[in-house]
């Protein structure tokens, strides 16, 4: 059983993907080919925003937003403590200070009470200027953007939606990567919409920001490529990746998003009794929300049970992952940050790192596989 089955996906899409890759090789338009422009249009339409600018990866996408807003030294950016390293790394890389805030124990997304507490603390201390909130759509579920927007408006902060795991998620019919002042995603192969290497994109409705970010992606270009008007990056999506993504985006919107949701419903249905009997929690999707299921994550009663279950499933050839074993504020890299994070405001994350376990999850997961996983979880607990 595969944790995320990219091989089956390729077999299903092989004919179209092979043709698309060979066309790029034949035309030799490896950089900035027409396929890149076409994809940007398709992505912007799918997400429902005015502009999409593709770039080299999801981490660059976040950095490009920081650069566009000129966030740097002396600025504070609020980041969930429970996320992939990038979400905080790019803040430090920009020279600003990441302030880690806790997540909700049910959705695992940014907790707005913890967020507001942290903002007030930074304002009262008076050493850093609060600038932006990075809200992550963790495991495919959009963050609570109604509340995040209220807080952003109240304190005059930008919202950066890190939709690296959230592409395809929805809140009341509105699609993920449309909730931030700038939103980003990643096309790393294992993400909900992945390419065959690294890739990423930024989204915005703001014309000026879109132009600025397009310039940043290509060495701060001005009217033309050899007219450089700002310091930028070399961060582009390869034509071959764009060609692959156009095909994958169609499959994603035609059936993959539906199928991955079917797989999630099957897990939830089949695990529901067991979870009550043995005291573990299944993923929680609030009313009106749709997840794109980057992960299907259980929350076990404690660390010992989580680790034992993981070893047991491994013996049975069922791959699982712990996303994430360490809170951001405990990552050694952030020891350099000249700000002492408020650990009393990060307790939910500390517990999640000890208790979460992600099961095999992808649109090509068969009911038979789900039955095997459920049976082995049952065997583990009834031992």
Residue (329 or 370) nearer to ligand PLP, CB: 329
List phi, psi (to 5°) of 51.
Answer: -130, 140
For the CB of residue 104, give the shortest distance to ligand PLP in the complex, in Å: 16
Give one word for 79, left, alpha or beta, with left for phi > 0 and alpha for psi -120 to 50: beta
Both tokens of 94, joined, read 């920009």
C-alpha to C-alpha distance for 290 and 317, rounded to whole angstroms: 30
Residue (63 or 215) nearer to ligand PLP, CB: 63
For the CB of residue 55, give the shortest distance to ligand PLP in the complex, in Å: 9
C-alpha to C-alpha distance for 341 and 195, rounded to whole angstroms: 36
For the CB of residue 83, give the shortest distance to ligand PLP in the complex, in Å: 5
Angle between helices 367-382 and 257-277 (to 10 degrees): 20
Pairing mode, strands 170-171 and 289-290: antiparallel
For the CB of residue 317, give the shortest distance to ligand PLP in the complex, in Å: 26
Residue (233 or 266) nearer to ligand PLP, CB: 233
Q: Distance from first CA to last CA of the chain, Å, rounded?
A: 23
For the CB of residue 235, give the shortest distance to ligand PLP in the complex, in Å: 11
Residue (143 or 318) nearer to ligand PLP, CB: 143
For the CB of residue 133, give the shortest distance to ligand PLP in the complex, in Å: 14
Around 154, how many Cα atoms within 13 Å sit in the side-chain half-sphere? 13
For the CB of residue 163, give the shortest distance to ligand PLP in the complex, in Å: 8
List phi, psi (to 5°) of 28.
Answer: 55, 35
Q: Examine residue 343 and say whether the peptide bond preceding it is cis (omega within 30 degrees of 0).
A: no
C-alpha to C-alpha distance for 333 and 350, rounded to whole angstroms: 17
Q: Which residue is nearest to ligand PLP (CB)?
A: 58
For the CB of residue 343, give the shortest distance to ligand PLP in the complex, in Å: 22
Residue (309 or 321) nearer to ligand PLP, CB: 321
Residue (136 or 141) nearer to ligand PLP, CB: 136
Residues 243 and 22 sit within 8 Å (Cβ to Cβ): no
Sign of CA dihedral 304, 309, 312, 317: negative
Angle between helices 303-315 and 347-355 (to 10 degrees): 30
One-letter-per-residue 3-state SS of 273-300: HHHHHCCCECCCCCCCEECCCCCEEEEC
Pairing mode, strands 356-359 and 296-299: antiparallel
Positions touching ligand PLP (CB under 6 A) are: 57-59, 83-84, 86-87, 136, 162, 164-165, 186, 188, 198, 200
């Amino acid at each position: 059983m595969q944790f995320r089955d990219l091989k089956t996906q390729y077999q299903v899409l092989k004919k179209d993907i092979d043709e698309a890759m060979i066309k790029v090789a034949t035309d030799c338009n490896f950089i900035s080919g027409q396929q890149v422009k076409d994809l940007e249009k398709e992505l912007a339409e799918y997400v429902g925003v005015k502009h999409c600018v593709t770039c080299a990866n999801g981490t660059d996408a976040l950095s490009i937003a920081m650069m566009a807003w000129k966030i740097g030294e002396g600025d504070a950016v609020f980041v969930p403590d429970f996320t992939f390293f990038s979400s905080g790394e790019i803040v430090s890389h920009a020279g600003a200070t990441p302030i880690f805030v806790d997540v909700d124990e049910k959705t695992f997304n940014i907790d707005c009470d913890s967020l507001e507490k942290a903002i007030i603390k930074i304002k009262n201390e008076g050493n850093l200027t609060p600038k932006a909130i990075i809200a992550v759509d963790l495991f495919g579920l959009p963050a609570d953007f109604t509340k995040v927007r209220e807080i952003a408006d109240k304190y005059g902060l930008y919202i950066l939606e890190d939709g690296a795991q959230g592409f395809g998620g929805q809140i009341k019919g509105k699609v993920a990567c449309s909730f931030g002042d700038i939103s980003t995603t990643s096309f790393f192969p294992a993400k909900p919409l992945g390419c065959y290497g690294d890739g990423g994109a930024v989204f915005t409705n703001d014309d000026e920001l879109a132009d600025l970010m397009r310039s940043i992606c290509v060495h701060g270009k001005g009217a033309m490529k050899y007219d450089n008007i700002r310091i930028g990056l070399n961060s582009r999506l390869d034509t071959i990746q764009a060609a692959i993504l156009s095909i994958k985006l169609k499959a994603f919107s035609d059936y993959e998003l539906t199928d991955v949701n079917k797989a999630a419903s099957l897990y939830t249905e089949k695990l529901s009794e067991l979870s009550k009997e043995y005291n573990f929690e299944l993923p929680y999707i609030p009313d009106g929300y749709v997840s794109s299921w980057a992960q299907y994550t259980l929350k076990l009663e404690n660390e010992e049970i989580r680790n034992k279950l993981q070893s047991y499933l491994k013996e049975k050839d069922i791959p699982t992952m712990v996303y994430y074993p360490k809170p951001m504020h405990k990552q050694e890299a952030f020891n350099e940050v000249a700000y002492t994070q408020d650990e009393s405001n990060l307790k939910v994350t500390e517990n999640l790192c000890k208790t979460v376990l992600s099961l095999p999850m992808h649109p090509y997961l068969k009911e038979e596989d789900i039955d095997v996983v459920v049976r082995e979880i049952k065997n583990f607990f009834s031992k």
